[in-house]
Amino acid sequence: MTKQMLALGWLIGLALLPVEPAVAQTVLRVSPHADLKVLDPHTNTATITIMHGHMIYDTLFSWDEALKPQPQMVESYTVSPDRLTYDFVLRPNLRFHDGQPVTTRDVVPSIKRWMVRDAMGQKLAEFTAEMTAQDDRRFQIKLKEPFGFLEIALGTSNGMVPAIMRAQDAATDAFKPITETIGSGPFRFVRGEWVPGVKTVYEKNPDYVPRAEPASGLAGGKVVKVDRVEWQVLPDSMTKASALQKGEIDIIDQLPLDQIPVLEKLPNVTVRQTTQIDSYGIIRPNHLHPPFNHPKARQALALMVDQKEYLHASSGDDAKWWQECWSFFVCGSPNATEAGSDGLRKRDLARAKQLLAEAGYKGEKVIMIATREIPSIGALGDVTAANLQAIGINVEIQESDWGTMVTRRTKKDPPERGGWHIFHTTVAGGGMYSPLTNFAINASCEGNAWFGWPCDERAEALRLAYVRAPDEPARRQALEALHARLWEVIPMVPTGQFKQPHAWRNTVSGVLRASSAVFWNIEKR
């Protein structure tokens, strides 16, 4: 028998052997509100980047459903009687996706890098004397004076995520976004299947050891109950709603409000707000360049706003999903106040024009960067463009996809050289209701505030008074004074408050109430 015949017989026999059926993977398909472009959660506040950060990284603490900080990567910690020394012990068996153990040599540089750009991290840095690794699992933070928000800061879920990265990644300049995606979180990023503008894929991390506590918000046991999560970018709200009805996707992240009436009527679809506190829209002016480097020009922006006009355009006609609100700290939250807003709450176009003239505006071009990838932000921009024209501003709208826009808004260059004057965004209330976590009111004059870079020493002094307040009455007094000052310097202009629902098929269960959309704890049948 020839070798060829023997080989043929072996192949035929192999073909006749019983074949084990492939194990079907459970794939959760999600339509995200935007395309993922920025991978570094230490450098950008875009919600899609925050979501990505929570997928692949872990944090020392996490906020639970009640927005209270709970240990996450931390196993235990102690605080000295004078509240100046915190000693932390990491959980055992923490590993990065490349197999390296997570040690305090990763933790310390990660937190130091996060402190550079996050509003709350910056404030924590002011209070920190030193942060040192004691051994692989133990590290210590020594404070210059007590800081009653330390655990909240280390678990903040908005702003820049205090993600723990590998030491070599954390060594990167905080103003240079990393492109590595090696974390220690419950999901792994599948780079080979990432197609920007089309699809982002995550797979279950088999080496992740969840905490034993039940999942609550972003805290507790991050138990992954699906094999893969695919974020599929769809072009418009109708396409998203149709795909959900047909079962082509399982979840719509941030359901466009024009589709609520359609999906609410379907028996196999759930439409529900998943965040604990409402969101709001803002106009963000650039404080570095004329005309909005002048407070009177920013006050003119406030006087051109009729919040109902913005809310109808961006959030639909059903007022059960929105409300007018002039609080930078979210109406209905523990810190709600509208102090100082009285003179700027009523639209007054004539007064706005006068203030612009007093600010020295003489018809120069104003560049508004905008996007239609997120429909609500596109709608806000349309209203603002008309209002800017109504008060005599020569506005030019420069549209792009969301990823390009969030990259451009980081540029401090003059608008005529690639910078900008105005942009719109929407922000989740879970991170904005506190003066410490509200990155948009940070008016630090060191040049590291959030995009737009306001600078006001008095506002920062009042924010510091809030941190140092010895009791709740003193803290409330500082908060009211801070809020009144913010309405004088106008770091941003609120365009109204809204509830942001998600939608999912009833084949999905376990969707958590959290300050950011998360995909652990979810089962799909």
Host domain of residue 61: 38-177
At 283 the pLDDT is 98
- Residue 248 resides in a domain: yes
Question: In the predicted model, is pLDDT for residue 8 greater than 50?
Answer: no
Tell how far CA 176 is from the center of its chain: 19
Q: What pTM did the predictor assign?
A: 0.87
Mean pLDDT of 182-196: 97
* 337-346 long-range contacts, CB within 8 A, separation 24+: 337/479, 337/480, 337/483, 338/483, 339/480, 339/481, 339/483, 339/484, 339/487, 340/483, 340/484, 340/485, 340/486, 340/487, 340/488, 341/487, 344/299, 344/302, 344/303, 344/487
Nearest to 141 by CA among 101, 85, 186: 85
76-87: pLDDT as tens digits? 999 999 999 999
Instruction: Report the 10 Å Cβ neighbour count for 464.
Output: 16
Question: In the predicted model, is pLDDT for residue 1 greater than 60?
Answer: no
- Residue 363 resides in a domain: yes
Terminal-to-terminal C-alpha distance of the chain = 54
The count of domains in the chain is 3
368-410: pLDDT as tens digits? 999 998 989 999 999 999 999 999 999 999 999 998 999 999 9
pLDDT > 90: what percent of the chain?
A: 90
Q: Before 235, cis peptide (omega within 30)?
A: no
464-503: pLDDT as tens digits? 999 999 999 999 999 999 999 999 999 999 999 999 999 9
Question: In the predicted model, is pLDDT for residue 3 greater than 70?
Answer: no
Question: In the predicted model, is pLDDT for residue 346 greater than 80?
Answer: yes
- Distance, in Å, from the CA atom of 522 to the CA atom of 178, rounded to the nearest integer, reads 29
At 68 the pLDDT is 95
- Distance, in Å, from the CA atom of 50 to the CA atom of 381, rounded to the nearest integer, reads 23
- Residue 504 resides in a domain: yes
Question: In the predicted model, is pLDDT for residue 13 greater than 80?
Answer: no
Residues 71 and 170 in one domain: yes
Residues 53 and 158 in one domain: yes
Nearest to 424 by CA among 402, 444, 447, 456: 402
- Residue 516 resides in a domain: yes
Question: In the predicted model, is pLDDT for residue 337 greater than 70?
Answer: yes
DSSP calls for 250-270: SEESS--GGGHHHHHT-TTEE
At 10 the pLDDT is 37
Q: Which whole-number Å values give the CA distances from 96 to 54, 99, 103, 205, 350, in the listed order?
A: 14, 5, 10, 10, 59
Residues 150 and 199 in one domain: no
Residues 376 and 483 in one domain: yes
Nearest to 149 by CA among 431, 450, 433, 437: 437
- Residue 402 resides in a domain: yes
Question: In the predicted model, is pLDDT for residue 24 greater than 90?
Answer: no
- Residue 244 resides in a domain: yes
Residues 371 and 445 in one domain: yes
Residues 429 and 284 in one domain: yes
Question: In the predicted model, is pLDDT for residue 338 greater than 60?
Answer: yes
Tell how far CA 448 is from the center of its chain: 18
Residues 119 and 246 in one domain: no
**Torsion angles phi and psi, residue 423, rounded to 5:** -145, 165
Domain end marker among 142, 177, 212: 177
At 11 the pLDDT is 37
| Confidence tier at 22 by pLDDT (50, 70, 90) | low
Residues 475 and 332 in one domain: yes
247-263: pLDDT as tens digits? 999 999 999 888 999 99
At 258 the pLDDT is 86
- Residue 477 resides in a domain: yes
26-44: pLDDT as tens digits? 999 999 999 999 999 999 9
- Residue 162 resides in a domain: yes
> Bigger pLDDT: 23 or 387?
387
Instruction: Report the 10 Å Cβ neighbour count for 189.
Output: 23
Residues 265 and 291 in one domain: no
| Confidence tier at 23 by pLDDT (50, 70, 90) | low
Residue 473: strand, helix, or coil: helix
Please report, for the domain that includes residue 127, its CATH number. Answer: 3.90.76.10
Question: In the predicted model, is pLDDT for residue 177 greater than 50?
Answer: yes
Residues 55 and 79 in one domain: yes
Please report, for the domain that includes residue 345, its CATH number. Answer: 3.10.105.10
- Mean pLDDT (the chain) is 94
CB 143 within 8 A of CB 84: yes
Residues 245 and 349 in one domain: no
Question: In the predicted model, is pLDDT for residue 111 greater than 80?
Answer: yes
Domain end marker among 177, 212, 239: 177
Residues 400 and 323 in one domain: yes
